[in-house]
Structure 1
Amino acid sequence: MLRLPQIGLPDTDIADSYYACNPHPDGTRTWTGVISKYRGDVIHHGYFPFSEESRDLEDVVRVIRHLHDITARVIFKLLGYNGRYRTRVSASTQEVCWVTTSTPPEDLGYR
């Protein structure tokens, strides 16, 4: 969905580049793989099993904040809003189209 012409968000590629260089503790090397794993935790367990070694609280928070930001930008784009908003991944306000293919993963909260 993020790659649809009317949405056009490069977040998947940016997050994938992060996980390719910084694999998830369970070895997952793609953003969609990490999201799928977290979705499975919530749907099948009803919680994030942080007691397991492959669950990282900081990574869960990073992904949730990033998904919140993506949701806001998708809604803004669908509504035709192109102004500024308060993003969940930085301390400042940003334009809706602030994420580009050259945005480093650090700017989306990935450290």
Structure 2
Amino acid sequence: MNETLQMLVTIVVIALATFTTRVLPFLCFGSREPPAMLSTIEKNLPPMILLLLVIYCLKDVQFLAAPYGVPELFTIGVVAGLHFWKRNAMLSIFAGTGLYMAVVQFNVFSFL
């Protein structure tokens, strides 16, 4: 196959797979209530994913060497406080990312 045809076939396959994954829940649960297990997963999956992201982000932090993980823990505290205060996930994500980048780039905790 030439390059253009291969690229078009790839795009069509990806588009069909995406469309199928978007339509499948409506076909399976369109006229009835979803099972209790699915409702439990729907309710608990976002916090579990966020917890995994926090653990993944902290896995390489050196807590026994300066700055002792202070920028990360400070940012996590600010993001948690901001999220409990405003209850806005996008605000928490963007503010946390911006704050962490500023703290790291400007070396705010260099005195430790």
Which of these two proteins has the greater Rg computed from alpha carbons? Answer: 2
Name the TM-score class by shorter chain.
0.3 to 0.5
Higher RCO (Cα < 8 Å, 6 or more apart): 1
Q: TM-score, normalised by structure 2?
A: 0.33
Structure in which a larger fraction of residues adopt strand: 1
* Structure 1 or 2: more helix by fraction: 2
